[in-house]
Amino acid sequence: MRRIGRIDGKGCLLLFSGLLICGIMSAQVLPHSKTLVVNGKSGEATVVQINSRIYVDLETLVRIANGSVGFQGSQITLVLPGSEASAPAAAQQAQQPASPTSLSRNFMIAGIETIAEMREWASTMANAIHQGYGITDSWAADYREKAATSLRRASASASTDADRNALQLLTNEFQSVETWSNELVEAKKNMDTAKYSTSSGALRNEPLSQKIINCGQFLGTMLGSAEFKDDASCH
pLDDT of residue 192: 76
Distance CA 102, CA 8 (A): 43
pLDDT tier for residue 199 given thresholds of 50, 70 and 90: low
Q: Tell me which range, 50-54, 60-64, 115-119, is most confidently predicted by mean pLDDT.
A: 115-119
Distance CA 233, CA 235 (A): 6
Q: Round the average pLDDT of the chain to a whole number and report it.
A: 76
54 neighbors 31 (Cβ within 8 angstroms):
no
By C-alpha distance, which of 147, 129, 138 is closest to 195? Answer: 129
Residues 6+ apart with CB under 8 A from 36: 42, 43, 44, 45, 47, 56, 60, 61, 64
Residue 167 has phi, psi (to 5 degrees) of -60, -35
Distance CA 58, CA 38 (A): 12
Mean pLDDT check: name the lowest of 88-102, 147-161, 172-186: 88-102
pLDDT of residue 37: 72
pLDDT tier for residue 33 given thresholds of 50, 70 and 90: confident
pLDDT of residue 11: 37
Sign of CA dihedral 228, 232, 234, 235: positive
pLDDT tens for 138-156 read 889 999 999 999 999 999 9
pLDDT tens for 217-233 read 999 999 999 999 999 99
pTM of the predicted structure, to 2 decimals: 0.59
* pLDDT: which is higher, 143 or 134: 143
pLDDT of residue 1: 43
